[in-house]
Structure 1
Amino acid sequence: MTGLLIKELIARGDLQRCLIVCPDNLVEQWQDELCRRFHLPFEIMTNDKYEAARTGNWFTENPLSICRLDKLTHNEDAQEKLKTTDWDVVVCDEAHKMSTSFWGGEIRRTKRYKLGQLLPTLTRHFLLLTATPHNGKEEDFQLFMALVDGDRFEGKFRDGVHSINASDLMSRMIKEDLLKFDGRPLFPERKAYTAEYELSDGEADLYQRVTDVREEFNRAEQLANDRRRGTIGFALTVLQRRLAS
């Protein structure tokens, strides 16, 4: 979908410089997909290429660029050089990695979040991509949306005073809404029902023994160490689920 957008903007003469920021393990995939499907020659920023830049600024020499999120996050020199450039489109994949939250009543601005605040100042169009839901906290969601529109979502969220409406800034693809060219649903309707069956003596004995794990779970709940209690409880739950599967 991003490739279609980039290709269309190029065809309209509205895009000459595009920067894609994504996690380390996705840079080659982005480069391959954009080249193979859309014939777009994106360059990946590496240490060698960055140091060998003729002008001293790799970003100015590569109008179609792909950067690793953490490499850009922790490289202050690269960020300083990035500030001297401008882009038509900046794309951030797995954008939820740049989200942040309130901690003790204060905003906990991570280095990734600060990078997310920098990138939209360098471009006309800022595109955030993610398939990971946020944690459900309105105040944290507001901080995330502030990356797209800082003026609109600036300030601490106050429950009951206002609600966040980002419908004009978001495009959410739900599989139930996806259709084929003839108008039929792309995915068939999912129907859930309960299938009843009787356990054999051996199966019933195994199920009972696995269910007895709950006694150990209750013991774990009584531990004073919250972190250890959560770890043991999670391990017991996984054990019960996998053994009975």
Structure 2
Amino acid sequence: MATTEPVDPDMTAADLALDLLEGEERAAATRRALADRDFAAQVAWWRQTMAGLVAWWPAVEPPSGLEARVMASTAVYGTSAGRSPAPVRGVAPWWRVATIALAGIAAVLALMLVLPRHAPAPQRVPARVAAAPLIAAIAPAADPAAPAAPLPALYEPDTGMLRVSGANIAPNGRSAQLWAIGEDGVPHALGILTHASEATVRIAAADRARLSPGTVLAISIEPPGGAPGPVPTGPVVATGPLSRL
């Protein structure tokens, strides 16, 4: 998907791309990314833009106190000298990231001023573009134990994290287990979905190659702790294929 610069940037998209949201705010933003393609494109644009900024500049240690001085000079905070700035609700996460980025750039410029003139110019490092997330709507099966609505899922290949919203579907004394089914039709266990409104599963390194567009995610209801064998033993209550965001 093309990720041109948004005309009217959405800071919620930036917060989601930079992993600054938690709890219900993250769950709501994830559901929005699954339902709103324009919002999903902004999330992808922020990821690519910030990945490029990080890769562009070599790592340096900013001078002590530089972040506090920059934040104190920002009118949004309205701070005075010698006092730690207090973030404004809804604005702080983005400006904190912007401040750190500015501090890094200022430190690089200061370092360039003191380097000898004959020092070689720093090499430009190619920007690493983050891999596009994969999404799925895990639709309920024709089973009394199935969820009432599709469960949105988001997989981030760079981190190996897979999030499923509305995953609290297993009855008491049972576990909801997540599976990946590839072209061979063989299910592979990925993990147990916790009893929470949004379950997070860290995919093992050996299983990450299994998750690609077209791979089917499935949820079965199993004994506590998961199926005793390599295949589901309980009813499969929801399935859905992965696709590129």
* TM-score, reference length from structure 1: 0.22
Q: Hey, which of these two has a bigger chunk of helix by percent? A: 1
Q: Hey, which of these two has a bigger chunk of strand by percent? A: 2
* TM-score, reference length from structure 2: 0.22
Pair member with larger Rg? 1
